[in-house]
Chain A
């Protein structure tokens, strides 16, 4: 593949998206290295999902561009190496767990064999292969959705709120698996509004109103804001970035 090994896994330059008068993503520049876990944090409506859709080439930027593994988006070549777990479950309710997994794997041209089985073990759905997705609880469907996004062993993974509705024990396993993927060279961008997950990421970007208001590791952001609490750090940094009194509720929510 003619992709320079040195090009960043995820790159954005002046990436902007407006819907009418609303600026959803406002001039975002990113250069994310391979083999790391990045967290995009911010309240609902801060532009996290739109940013991911722009990076994956699913939305057309109003200005700027995105490239993945050095390939300017939209690119089908890049899509073959991307895994995307959408915020909605995005699985076929009538299909069984196994059929969903095989279907998405075949869209990537892989049979979904070993990686698929490994994924099913991870998300603890191996004994439910023949269960239709509509019979799964919300948390189980979330796990299936994650398995469908990872079964083709992508190099760049976008996870939009992956742990919503997933119980704490499994959440710990998810993050351990994400870490393992990263150490194998996979780049992950995880969006979340759960701040206690943030410390599991190597680097964080704080988003508010479509802009990146701060970036760095958890420790850097804490010292920058002069507080030990990440939530306080977000509020202080968000407050510093905002016009005084412009927004009533700038804080990130702890849980939905």
Chain B
């Protein structure tokens, strides 16, 4: 191993970046842009206005009126009544309501009678079933308001207790952004670094520079080390920029006609940002060597792009970004547990949300697995670079 040759390869990669501002932008500006976009969507999401139609058996629509009162703080903006379930369904069909609550006529009798042996009354909630997200919001709004509404209507004046939500980690009013932002730091580092190394190394193979490189006394270990150092340096810069953007927030006061605005997301990190940095960097080092390794199996740049749905997308789906790994079907859980992104996401969340430090068992496993994958991929990448290919 000659440090001088490794350094020369790393320096060459930096020079290539310097002459290629668009790729630099891909590495630094694009992830910031996407995370900012995501923060905008999640942070300033328009509150859904829930319109409820109630099939109300009580005289004068007392349940509907009580629901309207109780529902104002849960996003219910209008409550109308319908004579029958069919009429309520018609209103859902022509989008005059978002959710229908069908109260059976025996509710009042059944609830107040309380005779043992009679089945408890059933309330039906009907939604259009087109968009599960908005259906869920509407049903939740009705359910949250229902207790108070029924208490006001039912005889016997039952007092419903108030439910207060507290959390072990973070705060109950944590936005989705707080849990998503740490994850995207890792995923972007993985994705862009893989793409850049894959294409870059393929171009070495196609452009004849690898052949020429192998005609020098360089060893393949030096090539892989040089690549890891060069791309690793850019990946570590990328992770640092992303982390700073996610954690910090700088308020810019209004200047002249410009309104005041903030740069950065200001997502709190419970644990050390340095640990989060280490997790993302280990993942990115694996990505460098995955790129070198997979470039062997591509003959064109387009074929490197074809690895994205094969290698990157499944990790995005199974890695725990959207659904916890524990909720996946058992077989897919096993698959997810073989993927580095899964461990990086777990580690980043452990550090940034739970505040894990190096004594944490989970984080130890995550770091060990990521380091193991990185070493394995270095070995695989080294094997694919052979002086005597055939």
Name A's B-contacting residues (CB within 8 A): 19, 56-60, 74, 76-77, 79-80, 82, 84, 86-96, 99, 103-104, 106-109, 132, 148-149
Contact = CB atoms under 8 A, between A and B. Distances in A.
A92 B210 CA distance: 10
B58 interface: no
B259 interface: no
Interface string B176-213: 00000000000000000000000000000001110111
B388 A107 contact: no
21 contacts: A58-B389, A59-B388, A59-B390, A60-B389, A74-B387, A74-B388, A79-B215, A80-B216, A80-B217, A84-B212, A86-B211, A86-B212, A92-B12, A94-B19, A94-B20, A95-B15, A96-B19, A107-B216, A107-B218, A109-B2, A132-B19
B296 to A, nearest CB: 16
A94 B19 CA distance: 6
B230 to A, nearest CB: 12
A57 B214 CA distance: 9
Interface of B: 2, 4-5, 8, 11-12, 15-16, 19-20, 207-209, 211-219, 387-390
B215 A106 contact: no
B5 A90 contact: no
Contacts of B19: 94-96, 132
B212 A148 contact: yes
Nearest to B19: A94
A19 B389 CA distance: 12
B216 A90 contact: no
Contacts of B4: 106, 109
B209 A90 contact: yes
Given A106-B4, A107-B218, 14 more contacts: A57-B388, A58-B388, A59-B390, A74-B388, A77-B217, A79-B216, A86-B208, A87-B208, A88-B207, A90-B208, A91-B209, A92-B207, A95-B19, A149-B212
B387 A58 contact: yes
B216 A108 contact: yes
B16 A90 contact: no
A84 B216 CA distance: 9
Nearest to A133: B19
A90 B8 CA distance: 17
A158 to B, nearest CB: 8
Given A109-B2, A109-B4, A132-B19, A93 B207 contact: yes
A79 B209 CA distance: 16
Nearest to A99: B15
A79 B216 CA distance: 6
B207 A90 contact: yes
A201 B389 CA distance: 31
B45 to A, nearest CB: 42
Nearest to A134: B19
A179 B8 CA distance: 32
Contacts of B215: 56, 58, 79, 82, 84, 86
Nearest to A102: B8
A96 B217 CA distance: 23
A77 B217 CA distance: 7
Contacts of A106: 4-5, 8
A82 B209 CA distance: 16
Nearest to B388: A60
A94 B212 contact: no
A109 to B, nearest CB: 7
Given A80-B217, A92-B16, A108-B217, A58 B211 contact: yes
Nearest to A81: B217
Nearest to A56: B215
Given A79-B217, A94-B20, A57 B12 contact: no
A156 to B, nearest CB: 11
